[in-house]
Structure 1
């Protein structure tokens, strides 16, 4: 049984990665139904929380059915991060996560996210301040290092464990790599081989199929896997991996009707959470993923991203169901 402090996650948990502009409550709802064992919010700006910015505050919205759920924070100032850990703790998540992995320029150039990989003493001091600011378990998500010459994650893992984090997720790329090239899990495996490491170690990067999940579990010995981009438009991936790990067989892939149904559920939750206008608008980023790979679906996707109301989207979804069920009957 893998545990983060007292949070039981099963024998080999699958985590939903915190993805900006993706991992909001509507998306998390369909991923939870799809088998995610632990989920995180989009990363929340510590500066935004201190300013009481509406967007940052809204990212603290969590729901009972999501548990266990973690709130992920990022920032560059130690005192601000500690204060924000207190603010996040007040909304009663199950844990607090610190982002030391985001590679995007507007985050790293402000000294946050992956920028802390260039200043390990500050990373350790910031983590310790957050640990002391909350009674909740604190976890960390980071990368192998800033670049190929600073792959210091083995040392970082020990130092962060020693000041109190309860789990570590490592993305198998450096900051310089961004999301390019193949993720290298070799150092993640070495952390697991370290007899000093007692906390769960989760691997992240390039897990797109059940076969790869099994291969990486066996090869690198991680306690669980975090899945990000592969879940966008395909929340079924969690249960597909679980089934394959347990039985060695494949679940039936979702039908067009399944895709339409889950897309509709996602949209309905988005509207309940943000109202029809914004809920419909923010779903536009997901349609291409839900209907990716379907022959002749481009025209439907184009219409979906132009629809402004639930009624318009619903009409198009019904057309998709009718069109593809008719083709399947031939």
Structure 2
């Protein structure tokens, strides 16, 4: 497999709109759905910072559990300002179709089907990337979901179950034939989890074999890397996940680089402070004090990673049990910065 490295020579490639069915993206950047991360505050932040779309964390297709607070908070709302994209996960075609329809009625403008999650608790229910082993079931699920809604349906996959069983081209063809509007490929097998290098050659092959939009995912960590992946794979768009942890500014940086060929200067932590405070406030507002301040802890840990005194402050911050005190501590920390 050919390595993708950050290029140092001038390119230039202009940014462009991407159409997924009747949904038009303002650029080629999508925030990935990440369990426990891609809630409403995080999605809004990513879009505010330049992502054209942010997909919700996966929602189980079993509607019997949708009455729980956890499921309710994962659903999109019609009053959300940005494109409302919901990811669903499951293995029963009719259950998936019903979940898609109910989300459409709830305001979803795009439905994404998860066949890429490598987590054991998902795979043991024959969902996520486990489905890649059963192409006929994949076809039944995709057909049922596409027929159930009037909004675009997209699919997210890995390249296969393991390196001996890569079937990404077969799944891509099935997806296109079933009416899937765009295909996202994480360039790893299920067995690879998040180790090793992403298989950009596999993504390139898919782009050469199908005509629906292809979205590349995996190891896109900088503006230069984003440009290199687009060039090499020919993908229509990029999906960025782990690189946005504590760094939603990556969307702004990549969008600017793709459009102008110039790398924006990194913001200082003091410049980032207002957005960090905004994020924490949104978490408190959505989840309430008890859960909101606990979720805020992991985000603050990511925001402050690598900064002087960041680890010391993180330990102090994690001991705070009142929302108001989190704000007081953050303000004091940011005010001390030069």
The interval holding the TM-score normalised by the smaller chain is over 0.9
Q: CA deviation at 1:118?
A: 0.7
Residue 228 (structure 1) aligned with residue 244 (structure 2): no
Matches within 5 A, 1:24-103: 24-47=39-62, 49-54=63-68, 55-62=70-77, 64-103=79-118
Equivalent residues of 2:30, 2:53 under 8 A apart: yes
Equivalent residues of 2:284, 2:292 under 8 A apart: yes
- What's the counterpart of residue 25 of structure 2? 9
Instruction: Report the Cα distance in structure 1 between the residues aligned to 2:145 and 2:275, rounded to whole angstroms.
Output: 37
Equivalent residues of 2:163, 2:189 under 8 A apart: yes
Matches within 5 A, 1:237-316: 237-316=250-329
Pairs aligned (count): 321
Of stretches 297-306 and 167-176 in structure 1, the one that deviates more from structure 2 is 297-306
Q: CA deviation at 1:157?
A: 0.8
- What's the counterpart of residue 328 of structure 1? none
Segments of 4+ in structure 1 off by > 2 A? 49-53, 61-67
Instruction: Report the Cα distance in structure 2 between the residues aligned to 1:217 and 1:88, rounded to whole angstroms.
Output: 31
- What's the counterpart of residue 184 of structure 1? 199
Q: CA deviation at 1:241?
A: 0.4
- What's the counterpart of residue 323 of structure 1? 336
- What's the counterpart of residue 129 of structure 1? 144
Give the secondary structure class of the aligned counterpart of 1:208.
Answer: coil
Residue 106 (structure 1) aligned with residue 113 (structure 2): no
Equivalent residues of 1:204, 1:227 under 8 A apart: yes
Q: Give the alignment partner of residue 215 of structure 2, picking from 176, 189, 202.
A: 202
- What's the counterpart of residue 181 of structure 2? 166
Instruction: Report the Cα distance in structure 1 between the residues aligned to 2:64 and 2:81, rounded to whole angstroms.
Output: 25
Of stretches 267-276 and 103-112 in structure 1, the one that deviates more from structure 2 is 267-276
Q: CA deviation at 1:260?
A: 2.1
Q: CA deviation at 1:319?
A: 2.0
